[in-house]
Amino acid sequence: MKLWKQILLGSITSLTVATVNAGPVALDKIAVIVNEGVVLQSDIDTAFKTLHANAKDSGQALPEEGVLREQVLEKLIIDTIQQQEADRLGVRIDDNRLNEAIADIAKNNEQTIEQLTASVEKEGLTYAAFREQVRKEIAASEARNALVRRRINILPAEVDNLADILANETNATVQYKVSHIQLRFNDEQEKSELEAQANDLVKQLKEGENFQTMAYTYSKGPKALEGGDWGWMRKEEMPTIFADQIKLQNKGSIIGPFRSGIGFHILKIEDVKGLEVVAVTEVNARHILIKPTVILSDEGVQRDLLEITRQVLTGEATFGDLAQQYSQDPGSAVQDGELGYQTPDLYVPEFKHQVETLPVGQISEPFKTVHGWHIVEVIDRREVDRTDSALKNKAYGILFNRKFNEEASAWLQELRASAFVEIVEEDQDVD
């Protein structure tokens, strides 16, 4: 699905969300009241048009209208609540950032801005309305990120334990394209009935039923309206309940059903690819630093450094001896100017460029950084496997991503549970 279409599908119609006291819109009516805002019937109609257009383009069958309507309504309600949170926090997205985001959408979709505009208008939405929807999507995302981050607590022991596990894993960076169906517990259905339904869905899927259609029809998960598609993820990027179940399964594997606190889940591995090697280039370099003064100008420093270089090249003195005598970097001067093996990223940009590009054994021309004027010589380069030293950082990132996905889901459920929601046309609450 095109990226801009995902945005339209996500909450395109919330552009027309207004306060309950707003004036009536011609040929439109309020369909759902959400706290102090509303979802209009035109919101629902637009979402239906987008879904049907996307399904037609992809050849994907959709479930019956009643099931689809329930999914669309729930998505619009959730999107409206998130945007209300962004407004409450005062999140504002300026035009420069908005323009960058839209340029990224066009680039990812392999379109120009003009082509993107035409595609949006083909779906019945003006480009101005699309821009404002993207702005609201970014604001809602920032509000969600800020509020969910506060809920995450990662203990040092958790990081250490996961780092130990990663050290023994050889498939930590395998990527999986995952689809998901979630069946949620409710008061009307016994857990045993829900488990039986989950087992029946798995049986149908293994017999060749279309996973996307089943997700549209039955899933209550966050990606239901995308046919359950979570896209490409490494295990560390997945919710914990996914990662715990995936153990080098082949493409096409159906996993589950398995149970969580909210229901039963079914996964499909749509595809698998790639491994990633954690390796870096370290450089051992030595340098001489001289700083300009009110007496010694930049030109004078350069002349002194060129003279030092001449003495080294002619064998009149060694680089180490001259570094000890002249360098104004006390830490390296006592080590004959040596900085030891380091990754170039540790250095300021000008110095980084020199150690990355100089041939081994060659002394640079004098160059200036924020510290003063330097000459530098690369003594050696080596490729180093940094997997071990990077494990704790990697483990922390894994834990953060997993907890973020879990907390984001819980946060949304709490927002939904505490919101006032009334479907006007059916004259009932949906809570």
The domain that contains 104 carries what CATH number?
1.10.4030.10
Distance CA 35, CA 88 (A): 13
Domain count, the chain: 3
Long-range CB pairs of 99-108 (<8 Å, 24+ gap) are 101/134, 101/138, 102/131, 102/134, 105/3, 105/4, 105/7, 105/134, 106/4, 108/3
- Residue 106 domain-assigned (yes or no): yes
Answer whether residue 428 shows pLDDT above 70: no
At 229 the pLDDT is 92
Judge if 119 and 197 occupy the same domain.
Answer: no
The burial of 228, by beta-carbon neighbours within 10 Å (0-12 exposed, 13-18 middle, 19 or more buried), is given as: buried
The contacts of residue 8 (CB under 8 Å, 6+ apart) are 50, 120, 123, 125, 130, 133
- Residue 247 domain-assigned (yes or no): yes
Write the pLDDT tens digit of every residue in 343-353: 888 888 889 99
Answer whether residue 25 shows pLDDT above 50: no
Q: Percentage of the chain surpassing pLDDT 70?
A: 86
- Residue 84 domain-assigned (yes or no): yes
Judge if 228 and 292 occupy the same domain.
Answer: no
Interhelix angle 319-326/298-314, nearest 10 degrees: 150
Per-residue tokens: 40: 């209009």
At 314 the pLDDT is 95
Judge if 129 and 13 occupy the same domain.
Answer: yes
Q: Are 335 and 358 in contact (CB under 8 A)?
A: no
Answer whether residue 2 shows pLDDT above 70: no
Answer whether residue 424 shows pLDDT above 90: no
Cβ atoms < 10 Å from Cβ of 298: 12
At 300 the pLDDT is 94
Per-residue tokens: 49: 């048009």
Binning pLDDT at 50, 70 and 90, where does residue 12 land?
very low
Owning domain of residue 342: 279-384
Judge if 270 and 283 occupy the same domain.
Answer: no
Judge if 363 and 315 occupy the same domain.
Answer: yes
More confident residue, 365 or 39: 365
Alpha-carbon distance values, 213 to 61, 187, 330 (Å): 6, 25, 68
At 188 the pLDDT is 62
Average of per-residue pLDDT across 193-204:
91
- Residue 399 domain-assigned (yes or no): no
- Residue 402 domain-assigned (yes or no): no
End residue of a domain, out of 248, 274, 300: 274
The domain that contains 205 carries what CATH number?
3.10.50.40
Write the pLDDT tens digit of every residue in 89-120: 887 888 888 898 899 888 888 889 899 888 88
What pairing do the DSSP bridges indicate for beta strands 175-184 and 229-234?
Answer: antiparallel
The burial of 223, by beta-carbon neighbours within 10 Å (0-12 exposed, 13-18 middle, 19 or more buried), is given as: middle
- Residue 199 domain-assigned (yes or no): yes
Judge if 341 and 206 occupy the same domain.
Answer: no
- Residue 409 domain-assigned (yes or no): no
At 192 the pLDDT is 83
Answer whether residue 179 shows pLDDT above 50: yes
50-59, 269-278, 281-290: least confident range: 269-278
Answer whether residue 310 shows pLDDT above 90: yes
Judge if 90 and 21 occupy the same domain.
Answer: yes
Q: Are 180 and 228 in contact (CB under 8 A)?
A: yes
* Mean pLDDT value across the chain: 83
Judge if 84 and 50 occupy the same domain.
Answer: yes
At 27 the pLDDT is 57
Three-class secondary structure of residue 339 per DSSP: strand
Beta strands per DSSP E along 226-262: 229-234, 254-259
At 320 the pLDDT is 95
Judge if 102 and 184 occupy the same domain.
Answer: no
Write the pLDDT tens digit of every residue in 312-349: 999 999 999 999 999 999 989 999 999 999 888 888 88
Judge if 73 and 43 occupy the same domain.
Answer: yes
Judge if 90 and 117 occupy the same domain.
Answer: yes
At 174 the pLDDT is 77
Judge if 105 and 137 occupy the same domain.
Answer: yes
- Residue 259 domain-assigned (yes or no): yes
